[in-house]
Chain A
Amino acid sequence: MTKSELIEEIAKDQNHLPQRDVELAVKCILEHMSESLASGDRIEIRGFGSFSLHYRPPRQGRNPKTGESVALAGKYVPHFKPGKELRERVNDAFQNNP
């Protein structure tokens, strides 16, 4: 499912709202989530999961073209931990229909 398919799916259940509004809403939610992570805040959605930042310490990397060694700074990467309901629904569906 892509972002535009997600918008269509939501629009089917929200037929009192024009699809354009659903599109803006989905973009607004994603922007809010990105903005939150970019400022170091976690996201916690019960039944879905949580997003947080994980730190990657500085390391020596290599330029794959030249083989030259380069120092890479420490950085943060986004991390997602699925919540209980999401984990169970995905795995139950798999167990019933592998």
Chain B
Amino acid sequence: MALTKAEMAERLFDDLGLNKREAKEMVELFFEKIRAALEDGSQVKLSGFGNFDLREKKERPGRNPKTGQEIPISARRVVTFRPGQKLKARVEGYAGSE
């Protein structure tokens, strides 16, 4: 099962005793403040978890996969995530589901 905002809010309610509304707002604000910083052109560094970096991509040739027609992919700014050492170490040990 995938982790969602509702479960994060539930955890804040259970572990920290925030009320349901506060917990929901807290989770919303957490993601909104990260989005706003990235929109503003700032990198976001969350130690122990990872960094959200911004990269600028030059225009490059692309193709419409349906029609095969060539259309350029315009220059753009994209978000990339670089997991931190601690998160990488915790995930590396995962043995897989199969």
Interface residues, chain A, with chain B CB atoms under 8 Å away: 1-3, 6, 9-10, 13-14, 17, 21-22, 24-26, 28-30, 32-34, 36-51, 53, 55, 75-80, 82, 85-87, 89-91, 93-95
Q: Is the CB of A22 within 8 A of B26?
A: yes
Pick the residue among B30, B94, B96 that contacts A10 (CB under 8 A): B30
The tally of residues in B whose CB lies under 8 Å from a CB in A reads: 57
Q: Are A53's CB and B94's CB within 8 A?
A: yes
A40 contacts across to B, CB distance below 8 A: 94, 96-97
- Minimum C-beta distance from A8 to chain B (A): 10
By beta carbon, the residue of chain A nearest B46 is A3
Q: Which residues of B contact A95 (CB under 8 A)?
A: 76
Of all A-B residue pairs in the complex, the 7 with the closest CB atoms, nearest first, are: A80-B81, A94-B77, A36-B3, A38-B90, A42-B2, A1-B37, A78-B83
Question: Contacts A28-B11, A28-B16, A86-B38 given: A76-B94 contact, CB under 8 Å?
Answer: yes
Instruction: Select B78's contact among A6, A77, A90, beta carbons within 8 Å.
Output: A90
